[in-house]
Amino acid sequence: MQSVVKSPGSQISVGLSPLRKFWQRFIGFLFPLETDTWLAVLRSGLGLQVIVYALFLRSDWYYLFASSGKGLVGREVGEAITAFDSPLIPTFGWLVALGRNLNMSEEAVLTVAWVALLSAGCLLLLGLFCRPAAIVAWFVHLCAAESGGLLAYGADAFMTTALFYLMLSPLPDRYSFDRWVTKAKPKNPQLLGFWRRVLQVHLCFVYFIGGLAKCLGNGWWDGSNLWRSLIRPPFTVVPPDVLVRFKYALPVLGISICLLEVSYPIFIWFKKTRFVWLVCILAMHAAIGLTMGLYLFALIMIIMNLAAFGVPCASRRAQATSGTTEQ
Amino acid sequence: MYSKRIHVAWFGIHFFLLTAVCLAGVFWLIAEGSTILPSAWDEYAGKGELGATWCLAKEAGPSNPVRRGIATYLHAAGIQAGYTFFAPNVPSQHRLTLELLYEDGRAEYESPHVRGKTAALRLESLLDRLSEERYEPVREVLVKMLAFSVWREHPGVKKVRATFGAVNPPGMNEFEQGKTETFQPMFSFDFSLRDDQKQ
């Protein structure tokens, strides 16, 4: 129990005490002890995601990112919009200009970029050269997302974010070939905990904002938005005449999605509710992938959720087995 | 401890920027009047959006280094746009129909296309953006590019009339009554190929 002494100095120390406690709790929250299992899930999952992304776009890669007159809309428009935001954002224009100095055609540069992306995905999946592979995957994907800015959709933003976090995380993890080959020491468990927290907090932002914005639309309360999204080409996987049979279920599903998303930042943290919320969110993304054909979007969200909350929190185990060194 | 402080500082800045981006997105939706909130909120939401975009230095000049620095970071981290997908309501689908007019008076109808389903999704995303007011300055250029991508496959075409519009799907009850989607034209452009471009 603290006693209040009427000297100015001690008054300050009594005043600071709750602030310091809060700070310590905050630091404790940001740097929990963690093993690298979640990082292995993120690394291999993103490797798979990058491979699927590259293979899905294989036949249209050049058509989407070629310059004007050769492709769909020409990447110049997207790159000009990006350059208006900042000329420092990487685009394929950079690589094409570099290739020109090496006497490489635009087509050759774009092909090399595609091969580099696919290779980076394979290396990430295997856990070979983890850090360079993560950097290459992030950079080439960012170039693609920015050069085709007008053609990008939600999955691209999430891929960039996930690759950005992976690139900064303490790689390699124990399940990677890198660790097996180099016999490197395990990474600082607090640093592993920090990067997992970043991913967890980010997902809370994603679902809360997404859920809040949906709650503000009347169409999510009466099921009409679900109807519209499911019969909207090119998402039409379930025929409308089949869908209309479930018309009384659509309002319930719409409201459930709103509530599930907006309450995610609360219930995903409680041990008792985490499993239920995680399963529901994963099911929602699997359903989005299967019924709307948004496979890349579904896959990246499932990977991020599994890495953030799917792998059991290892604080106690890590505490028991770690030789933690503060950096 | 030094490393921890750097990490905490980065965490604070990163999530501050993410909060500003997300709030700007939500406030924009409210200010547009597309939510169920009373219209009296629109003005406040507009002010809120201004505040959020100010935090991102978007009110500064285009060449302002702080603005550019923040924009570069946001793009690099993939957090330049908020997470208001399919919200507050699912937008209408958009369609671009190209009427290809041949020299002999023949007409054919085509739409821009790609090979894979994933790329088709991206094309849909582009068409949806064309309807947005903020892309108005590049609208004609983009439609011209899309028309040209089809034109390359039909070298005999003399003129192209591009019609862009919203496709409104029927509601559930309307669908049961046999109603189908309706097309609402928004704008159209006529393009003719110059002789020097034909080669």
- Average pLDDT of B13-21? 97
Is residue B56's pLDDT more than 70? Answer: yes
State both tokens at B101: 């007019």
Total number of residues shown for chain B:
199
Chain A interface disruption, residue of B89, B93, B177, most A CBs within 10 A: B89
Instruction: Give the pLDDT band of residue A224 (cuts 50, 70, 90).
Output: very high
Residue B55 distance to chain A (closest CA, Å) = 15
CA B62 to chain centre: 21
Is residue B199's pLDDT more than 70? Answer: no
Residue among B69, B78, B84 whose CB faces A160 most closely: B78
Phi, psi (deg, nearest 5) at residue A324 = -60, 130
Contacts of B15 in chain A (CB under 8 A): 201, 205
CB contact under 8 A, A60 and B116: yes
Phi, psi (deg, nearest 5) at residue B122 = -70, -35
Measured between CB atoms, does A63 come within 8 Å of chain B? yes
Measured between CB atoms, does A249 come within 8 Å of chain B? no
Per-domain residue ranges for chain A?
33-169+178-187, 200-322
pLDDT tens digits for A199-223?
Answer: 999 999 999 999 999 999 999 999 9
CB contact under 8 A, A194 and B7: yes
pLDDT tens digits for A133-154?
Answer: 999 999 999 999 999 888 888 8
Contacts of A81 in chain B (CB under 8 A): 138
Cβ proximity of A40 and A310 under 8 Å: no
Helices (DSSP H) in chain A: which residue ranges?
8-30, 37-56, 61-65, 75-85, 92-101, 106-126, 130-147, 154-168, 177-182, 189-215, 224-230, 240-243, 249-262, 264-267, 271-292, 295-305, 315-321
Measured between CB atoms, does A282 come within 8 Å of chain B? no
**Cross-strand pairs, B191:** B160
- Average pLDDT of B16-28? 96
pLDDT of residue A323: 41
pLDDT of residue B133: 84
ipTM: 0.90
Least confident of A264-273, B33-42, B114-123: B114-123
Measured between CB atoms, does A229 come within 8 Å of chain B? yes
pLDDT tens digits for A58-105?
Answer: 999 999 999 877 888 888 888 998 999 999 999 999 999 999 999 999
Measured between CB atoms, does A231 come within 8 Å of chain B? yes
pLDDT of residue B16: 97
pLDDT tens digits for A21-42?
Answer: 999 999 999 999 999 999 999 9
Is residue B187's pLDDT more than 80? Answer: yes
Chain B interface disruption, residue of A146, A147, A161, A209, most B CBs within 10 A: A209
pLDDT of residue A324: 40
pLDDT of residue A70: 81
pLDDT of residue A2: 42
Instruction: Give the pLDDT band of residue A6 (cuts 50, 70, 90).
Output: very low
Single out the residue of A252, A78, A205 nearest to residue B77, CA to CA.
A205
Instruction: Give the pLDDT band of residue A8 (cuts 50, 70, 90).
Output: very low
Least confident of A206-215, A290-299, B7-16: A290-299
Q: CA quadruple B101, B106, B109, B110: dihedral positive or negative?
A: negative
CB contact under 8 A, A326 and B1: yes
Q: Alpha-carbon distance A139 to B40, whole Å?
A: 44
Cβ proximity of A172 and A131 under 8 Å: yes
Contacts of B125 in chain A (CB under 8 A): 150-153
Measured between CB atoms, does A170 come within 8 Å of chain B? no
Per-domain residue ranges for chain B?
2-77, 93-198
Residue among B87, B124, B126 whose CB faces A217 most closely: B87
**Global confidence as pTM:** 0.90
| R_g of chain A computed on alpha carbons | 24
**Cross-strand pairs, B161:** B99, B190
pLDDT tens digits for A151-184?
Answer: 888 899 999 999 999 999 999 999 999 998 888 7
CA distances from B146 to A107, A307, B74, B104, B191 (A): 20, 40, 29, 24, 11
CB contact under 8 A, B83 and A234: no
CA B56 to chain centre: 21
Specify whether the backbone of B160 is left (phi greater than 0), alpha (psi in -120 to 50) or beta. beta
Residue among A157, A209, A229 whose CB faces B86 most closely: A229
Measured between CB atoms, does A168 come within 8 Å of chain B? no
> Could you write out the DSSP letters of every residue in A121-134?
HHHHHHTSSHHHHH
Residue among B90, B171, B176 whose CB faces A232 most closely: B90
pLDDT of residue A74: 83
| Percent of the residues in chain A that have a pLDDT greater than 90, as a whole number | 70
CB contact under 8 A, A27 and B19: no
CA distances from B47 to A215, B28, B44 (A): 21, 10, 5
pLDDT of residue A317: 52
State both tokens at A310: 């799917």
Instruction: Give the pLDDT band of residue B34 (cuts 50, 70, 90).
Output: confident
- Average pLDDT of B128-137? 86
Name the burial class of residue A8, with classes exposed (0-12), middle (13-18) and buried (19+) by CB atoms within 10 angstroms of its CB: exposed
Q: What is the mean pLDDT of chain A?
A: 89
